[in-house]
Every structure is written in structure tokens, then in C-alpha cells.
Structure 1
Amino acid sequence: MEIHVTEQAVDWFYDEMDLETGDAVNFFPKYGGTCSFQKGFSIGMAIGRAHEPEIETEKKGVTFQIDEKDVWFFDGKDLYIGLKDGEVEYSDGPIE
């Protein structure tokens, strides 16, 4: 399992979340909503390091992480993060 983040999405995180080089963004399951990973859940995010990072990638000085306790949610699939209509979007396949 890997995290794939487009360059445009990284720029969005910098702009919208006021990130600085060295920051981390942690992704986790959130009850309610819809997504391509688990029915009845959506993806939440928070600035800060995962307690026990299981999956991580670094882009433009920012680390994107998933904690080991949240890996179940992604069901072994890669997390793709991109932009669609100017907003961040999450998927289990490439975002075009």
C-alpha cells in the first residue's frame, strides 16, 4: 500500500492548510460520508504526525501518513490524492 499525491494536491495542502516544510498530514477514517474504500465512511485529515506511522510518503517537504491503527480502512489499496475542480479528492485509483 502506498500514498500517491499529485504536485497540484501538495500545493493545495500548502495553500489551504498553511503548511510549512517539515509538516505532516495524517489521514484517517471518519464515520459518515462516502468514499471508494469503505461504505459509510469518508477520509479525514489532520496536520500532525501519526502516532505510529505505517504508510508514509514525502512530497515537497511535507510528509503524508497513515497510522498503523487506520490501515484496515484502506483495505490494502493505494491512496491517491489529487485535485478535481479545485478541491482535494481521495480515491483508490489515479485521479485525472
Structure 2
Amino acid sequence: TAVTKLAEPFPDLVLLDWMLPGGSGINFIKHMKREELTRNIPVVMLTARGEEEDKVRGLEVGADDYITKPFSPKELVARLKAVIRRVTPTALEDVIDVQ
């Protein structure tokens, strides 16, 4: 499963869908936030589930942002940069480079 793939070196950010093979993004976030080594990794949910209660649930379990499909690549990059800035204010401006 995706949870077992999350190992050192840990990513700077996790971008995941609500619906994962063999599990859910919600459970993945809950697992990450319980573990000391991964609880501070920012998480952005990217999903077709756009109902208010889904967004609230995703944010309440620990997602740092919640993006609903469809979205533009520019919006995705801007939101990822914003999350990284909040977590690491001294990070370089061009952390994410999309060509």
C-alpha cells in the first residue's frame, strides 16, 4: 500500500487522492499524522469529492489543502507552493518547477 512506501528520505509534501488502491486518502493521512516521523509532512488532497462535508473532513483529519477536480495546472502549482511556503517560509521560491 501507499503507507508502506512512505519511507526515508521522506518527501517534502504528499499529494494524494481520497480514493487510493487498497485504501483511502483519509486513512493514509490519519496514519501519517499518528507517526512521529511523518506527522509534520504537509498533505494536499486532490480529489473529485467536492461536497462541503468531504472538504471539511479532509481538512479536519490533517490535510493542509484540499483541491477538487477539475483544476488547472497553474492552480495546482500555486496551491502547492503556498503550502510549502507555510510549512517552510525560508524555502526557495522556485521549489516547484513545471515545464
Answer whether TM exceeds 0.5 for this pair. Answer: no
Structure 1 length-normalised TM: 0.25
The structure, 1 or 2, with the larger RCO (C-alpha pairs under 8 Å, 6+ apart) is 1
Structure 2 length-normalised TM: 0.24
Quick check: which one's strand share is greater?
A: 1
Quick check: which one's helix share is greater?
A: 2
